[in-house]
Amino acid sequence: MKIGSVECDNNVFLAPMAGITDAVFRILCREMGCGLVYSEMVSAKGISHNNTNTKKMLYVDPDERPCAIQLFGSDPEIMGNMAKALNEYPDIDILDINMGCPAPKIVKNGEGSALSLDPELAGRVIYSVAENSDKPVTVKIRKGFDDEHINAVQMAKTAEKNGAAAVTLHGRTREQYYSGKADWDIIAQTKAALKNIPLIGNGDIFKPEDAKKMLEYTGCDAVMIGRGAQGDPWIFKRTLHFLETGELLDEPDVSQRISMARRHLKMLVEYKGENVGVKEMRKHIGWYIKGLPHSAESRVRVNNTLGYENMDGLLLDIEKTIKENTIQC
């Protein structure tokens, strides 16, 4: 599948998720076959102010390409200038504009999903980024801001008109956040309205069968997996295999989950340092062990553990305890 000039291995993508889709997680998902990875959202203003932490988020490892960096902002001039600046980064393949984030602090600033309330401004932002970028530009939107402002079709057509190479649509409104069911009908309607660019469907893909159903039901060109990938990078391998063969591969067993969590931990510590890496890994470990025996009490231990060696040892202990209990049963 192509997005502008960028060739993707397949049409099963990783969604941008704040605090989750850093370079380490993106690499793990790419290794499992993910066709395109998206970064956490990065502030255009932060880049323009030369913020150190913001600039660190622009790092792309060669092993994760193709990779899209997601920008958020509402000032067309700043967004355009930062697009021009990011074109100097050779490892960034695509620029994505966040027009779907529901977080109150983002919406309060008129950014993220707040832009759906001002399609004219949204169009100027998209146009500015596209005009200042030789890299393909994509836009991520939601169904609308709330039930009184359902305008995904209008927003997608605005994106296409102003130079976007693809649109991603999450089938929920801003007011829904992540509750309720994603509306796949709006994804189908939006796909039918676009003339020349692909639509990426997003929302409620938690297993391979969901991806197949969305592709068939909506006619979208690709699917984007968000929460379904948390603690489960295998979902990309399993989804691709299911789409190609109709066969469902087994879910990862205890040893595979713990082994991946240990590797993820090691990579995160090497990337961000021991203190930050171990603390950020806590939520990931919670997802890796979700559904396993005694996972609730294990999460308590994880959240109270400091230091790489201690956390690695705890993961081994969790694996050992589960296996011993399984044998006894």
- So which residues are the catalytic ones? 101
Task: Using the Cα atoms of residue 49, residue 50, residue 55 and residue 58 in order, give the sign of their dihedral.
Answer: positive
Structure tokens at 190: 């939006």
Judge contact between 146 and 117, C-beta under 8 A.
no
Structure tokens at 241: 């295999």
Judge contact between 248 and 208, C-beta under 8 A.
yes
Could you tell me which of 205, 139, 125, 203 has the C-alpha nearest to residue 168?
139
Q: Which residues contact 163 (CB under 8 A, 6 or more apart)?
A: 126, 127, 129, 130, 131, 137
DSSP string, 29-80: HHHTT-SBEEEEEEEHHHHHTT-HHHHHTT---GGG-SEEEEEE-S-HHHHH
Question: What is the signed CA dihedral for 311, 316, 318, 323, rounded to 10 degrees?
Answer: 170
38 strand-pairing partners: 68
What share of residues in the chain are helix, strand, coil (percent, to 5)?
A: 50, 15, 35
Strand positions, DSSP E, the chain: 2-3, 6-7, 12-14, 37-43, 67-72, 94-99, 137-144, 166-173, 199-202, 222-225
Parallel, antiparallel, or unpaired for β 222-225 and 12-14? Answer: parallel
DSSP string, 264-297: HHHHHHHHH-HHHHHHHHHHHHHHHTTTSTTHHH
Omega within 30 of 0 (cis) for the link into 252 = no
